[in-house]
Homo-oligomer: A and B are copies of this chain.
Amino acid sequence: MLTSSGKNKELFLGIDGGGSKCKAIVMNEDNDILGTGISGPGNPLHGFEQATNSITESAKLALEDAGLAHIELSELVAGVGLAGVNIPVLFDQMSAWKHPFKTIHLATDLLIACLGAHDGSDGAVIISGTGSCGFSCVDEQYTIVGAHGFPHGDKGSGAWFGLQGVKQVLLSLDGLVPPTLMSNVLLKKLNCKDDTDLVEAVASQKATFYAQQANLVFDAAEQGDKVALTIVDEGAEYINSIARTLTAKNPPRLSMLGGLTPRLKSWLADEIKTNLEEPLHAPEVGSVIYARQQQAKQAVQQSA
């Protein structure tokens, strides 16, 4: 029985740890978001110490933001969704973490995004931000499409669109493909005089750099640039194929998430566009939903 002081009420931490930042929320049992915190990369692919530091730091910031700085991390039930933990060695490493929380429930970033988008019910999500992938959860069966990383995968992502744009600009500056509207825009954006400058500017750049060049591909496509249109069509067709693979699993709802969604959505096939439904919650809320679902399961198992 709960006391009026609320001392027996549980507090939940929801973590969405990605390659560029780690987002945290603190929620109460009534699903109110009490505070939020953001720290550095939370993806264990970039190192265990970095990831665990980011998770702890974002959690403390969220407590502070909630006016709950006096609450210890050891009082929080944590749902932690992390990119990279679909790789077994990283899942094992994170599971072995001597974490500071009351309990921890570890899931992939894909699962928490899906749980968040569909308020804990079955469904599917297409994600296109810096990377790309598809994920569905139907009758406790998970399907992953893509999520392979850059540059070998992540077709239809911001990084992919940006890379295709840069490639075509370089080829057109060599006269090997038709000139494109993207050339001058890219040279100007990167403060380059010519292709030698451009080669220097893009040398050794990573996915996040290329994702920052995605918008100019869409801008050029919308102005009718044929090279850009071909890129956009190819990327959109890959996202269509993810959507079709997910739809075949009969998810009750399908949502699209990620920073490229506003640009990319209108280029998808009509039957896919019209099927997309708005995500109900953010992924970090999905982490709390996951933690509460796992708690409920354990309670059932213990009472059985």
Contacts and interface: CB of A to CB of B under 8 A. Distances in A.
Interface of A: 45, 86-89, 145-149, 151-153, 155, 163, 166-167, 170-171, 174-176, 195-196, 199-200, 202-205, 238, 241-242, 245
Given A176-B238, A176-B241, A245-B175, A200 B87 contact: yes
Nearest to A198: B148
B176 A45 contact: no
A204 B87 CA distance: 14
A238 B177 CA distance: 10
Contacts of A86: 196
Nearest to A151: B151
A164 to B, nearest CB: 9
Contacts of A155: 167, 171
Contacts of A195: 148
A170 B152 contact: yes
B163 A87 contact: no
Copies in the complex: 2
A152 B174 contact: no
A231 to B, nearest CB: 13
A149 B241 contact: no
Contacts of A238: 176
B166 A152 contact: yes
Given A146-B174, A153-B170, A176-B241, 5 more contacts: A87-B200, A149-B203, A153-B199, A174-B245, A175-B245
Nearest to A86: B196
Contacts of A89: 200
Contacts of A199: 87, 147-149, 153
A145 B174 contact: yes
A303 B170 CA distance: 44
B87 A176 contact: no
9 contacts: A87-B196, A87-B199, A145-B176, A149-B203, A152-B163, A152-B166, A152-B202, A176-B242, A176-B245
Contacts of A148: 170, 195, 199
Contacts of A245: 174-176
Contacts of A45: 203
Contacts of A167: 152-153, 155
Contacts of A196: 86-88
Most chain B beta-carbon contacts within 10 A, residue among A151, A204, A242: A151
